[in-house]
Amino acid sequence: MHEEILTWEGSPPAGSPALVVVSAGEAVSVKAENFASEVLLDPEWTVSGALGADGTPMAVRVSADGRIASGVVGGGPAVLELLGAGALAESH
């Protein structure tokens, strides 16, 4: 869902949340993905495991005060829906 995320980053819907990508990949390969969003490296799946995200792509919404504000969702369409990118989710 790399292309969908890049498309979303280029024109996020009004009021949509900020995106933070958590990746188990190597810094060089993740940098080559050209995400505009903040990227956190999690090579040991520490953050992912704590959130209950045991695969990819998966996402949770985090509130402005740092609290988990949704359940974990899995799969590209569900991740895009959580981002408020319904039109992108419907096209996949």
Split into its structural domains, the chain has a count of: 1
Q: What is the pTM of this model?
A: 0.78
Residue 46 reports pLDDT greater than 90: yes
Q: What's the rounded Cα separation, in Å, for the pair 24 and 39?
A: 10
For residue 18, the enclosing domain spans 2-90
Give the contacts of 44 (CB within 8 A, at least 6 positions apart).
Answer: 24
- pLDDT tens, residue by residue, 33-43: 999 998 999 99
Query: Which of helix, strand or coil describes residue 77?
Result: helix
Per-residue pLDDT at 86: 57
Backbone angles phi, psi at 3, to 5 degrees: -65, -40
